[in-house]
Amino acid sequence: MLARVTVAAVYVSCDRIVTCAPGALPRRRDFDLGILEGAAMRIENGRVSWIGSREEAPDESVYLQGTIVPGLVDAHTHPVYAGSRLHEFALRAKGATYQEIHAAGGGIHSTVRATRAASYEELLARTERVLARMLRHGTTTLEAKSGYGLDEATEIRDLQLLGDVASPMRIVRTYLGAHAMPPDFADRREEFVKTLIEQTLPRIARERLADACDVFCEDGAFTLDESRRILAAARAHGLDVKAHAEEFAYLGGARMAASLGARSVDHLLSLPEHDFAALAESGTVAVLLPGTTLFLGKERYAPARGLIDAGVPVAIATDFNAGSCMTESLPMAMSLAVLKMKMTPEEALIGATVNASHALGVSDVCGSLEVGKAADFLVLEVDDPREWLYHFGVNLVREVWIAGRRVSDDIPC
């Protein structure tokens, strides 16, 4: 006789659930965390099917001591690379700037050389270790960019690698072929941009190797016009678009990308006030990366307060990458958002959950704990979610669950 297969519902209960609901729209002015004291949740088929009070849950529910929050969404990372730029850390301490190191052939260029030379297996193992560290710090959904290959073969290999990575995380892949101009194309910029637009981008879209396309629109990287052409082509091929914009110089990349319907514009340290209203109207999410400002030893942070006050939805991400921000910890970036950009802890929490899910186009799946969404959540050893950011640089994540499964048990150390 065949056993009847039923998917049993699992109940979890805890001291409180920080739902971050509602997550249907990016949050602009209301940063209520939706906290339910003494709460419980039913999980079926990896999704939340009920949320209510602990008294209503059956006796056999699994009690998780502490505070449940939605799994974090890191909306900007560059995790696929080889080599080490440790020496730049000391160079910057001696006064060299990020741009000077880049212009002298170091920076992104040195990581590109190491990444091109690395074997697939080495790169895969390194990337998996990075993702495991992110997961231990509470990231359950991740945007991951290519961009350390620059040539077609390496960019495609690295996007495929992100598809092959052994990780329970949800991964949104972004093609960043326009991360830097390879030195051998310095006198043939147009040839590089044309090949990217006419050959590599269509292939990546056709083979569904990426969900989105990004560009580094910056002095010393890609001009406003080159960036516009690349993003417009990406849209035409059905990819989402986003941009690294106004990190060092103001080129107008954020407005340009927003006018093309970008899901996000990222960095924005040099964004002037007169662009805030245009951004607010566009619906594009501003992804701010305070870890990078700290790591590069800069004084000027992105204008988070001005953006929020103008009604721009703001997300917080790590910008984990080979050289300008070496941290896998999204809670660390959230603490910096409060300490350095004067965001409230509530704004930072919404910024790394709901608003980040909108920056990635995955808000129907994750970013808040609501009926119908994935049961992606963390158990924290705090009584108040704000304490998580207050206690900076220390990992207070006790458990990580993705799609209703406790994955923190299997994370390699």
Give the torsion sign (CA, 345, 17, 67, 289): negative
Give the residue with the Cβ less far from ligand NIG, 111 or 227: 111
Total residues interacting with Fe ion, rule: CB under 5 A = 1
Q: Which residue in the set 211, 226, 240, 247 belongs to the binding site for ligand NIG (CB under 6 A)?
A: 247
3-state secondary structure of 378: strand
Q: How far is the CB of 19 from ligand NIG (least distance, A)?
A: 31
Q: Does 178 bind ligand NIG (CB under 6 A)?
A: no
Q: Does 295 bind ligand NIG (CB under 6 A)?
A: no
In 3D space, the residue among 334, 328, 320, 315 whose CA is nearest the CA of residue 387 turns out to be 334
The one-character DSSP state at 409 is: G
Q: Which residue in the set 54, 137, 229, 244 belongs to the binding site for ligand NIG (CB under 6 A)?
A: 244
Q: Does 319 bind Fe ion (CB under 5 A)?
A: yes
Q: How far is the CB of 155 from ligand NIG (least distance, A)?
A: 15
Considering only 102-110, 111-119, 131-139, 315-323, which stretch makes contact with Fe ion by CB under 5 A? 315-323
Q: Does 216 bind ligand NIG (CB under 6 A)?
A: yes
Give the residue with the Cβ less far from ligand NIG, 23 or 79: 79
Q: How buried is 230 (Cβ within 10 angstroms: 0-12 exposed, 13-18 middle, 19+ buried)?
A: buried
3-state secondary structure of 119: coil
Residue nearest to Fe ion (CB): 319
Total residues interacting with ligand NIG, rule: CB under 6 A = 13
Q: What angle do CA 64, 66, 70 make, to 5 degrees?
A: 85
Binding to ligand NIG (CB under 6 A) within 59-88 occurs at 78
The one-character DSSP state at 222 is: B
Contacts of residue 394, defined as CB under 8 A and 6 or more positions apart, other chains included, come to: none
Residue type, 379: V
Q: How far is the CB of 216 from Fe ion (least distance, A)?
A: 8
Q: Does 308 bind ligand NIG (CB under 6 A)?
A: no
Secondary structure (H, E, C), 16-67: EEECCCCCCCCCCCCCCCCEEECEEEEEECCEEEEEEEHHHCCCCCEEEEEE
150 makes contact, choosing from ligand NIG, Fe ion, none, with CB < 5 to 8 Å by partner type, with: none
Angle between helices 152-164 and 108-117 (to 10 degrees): 70
Q: What angle do CA 109, 114, 116 make, to 5 degrees?
A: 90
Q: Which residue in the set 23, 66, 79, 107 belongs to the binding site for ligand NIG (CB under 6 A)?
A: 107
Give the residue with the Cβ less far from ligand NIG, 78 or 133: 78
Q: What angle do CA 393, 397, 400 make, to 5 degrees?
A: 140
In 3D space, the residue among 83, 108, 107, 111 whose CA is nearest the CA of residue 96 turns out to be 107
What is the signed CA dihedral for 68, 71, 72, 77, rounded to 10 degrees? 150
Give the residue with the Cβ less far from Fe ion, 31 or 175: 175
Q: How buried is 14 (Cβ within 10 angstroms: 0-12 exposed, 13-18 middle, 19+ buried)?
A: buried
Give the residue with the Cβ less far from ligand NIG, 41 or 80: 80
Q: Does 154 bind ligand NIG (CB under 6 A)?
A: no
Q: Which residue in the set 74, 158, 319, 376 belongs to the binding site for ligand NIG (CB under 6 A)?
A: 319
Q: Does 111 bind ligand NIG (CB under 6 A)?
A: yes
Q: How far is the CB of 319 from Fe ion (least distance, A)?
A: 5
Q: How far is the CB of 45 from ligand NIG (least distance, A)?
A: 37
Q: How far is the CB of 324 from ligand NIG (least distance, A)?
A: 4
In 3D space, the residue among 308, 312, 267 whose CA is nearest the CA of residue 287 turns out to be 267
- CA–CA separation, 225 and 372 (whole Å): 42
Contact 155, 87 (CB under 8 A): no
Binding to ligand NIG (CB under 6 A) within 263-292 occurs at 292
Give the residue with the Cβ less far from ligand NIG, 12 or 134: 134
Give the residue with the Cβ less far from ligand NIG, 310 or 314: 314
Give the residue with the Cβ less far from ligand NIG, 18 or 265: 265
Give the residue with the Cβ less far from Fe ion, 146 or 408: 146
Q: Which residues bind Fe ion (CB under 5 A)?
A: 319
Q: Which residues bind ligand NIG (CB under 6 A)?
A: 78, 107-108, 111, 216, 244, 247, 292, 319, 321-324
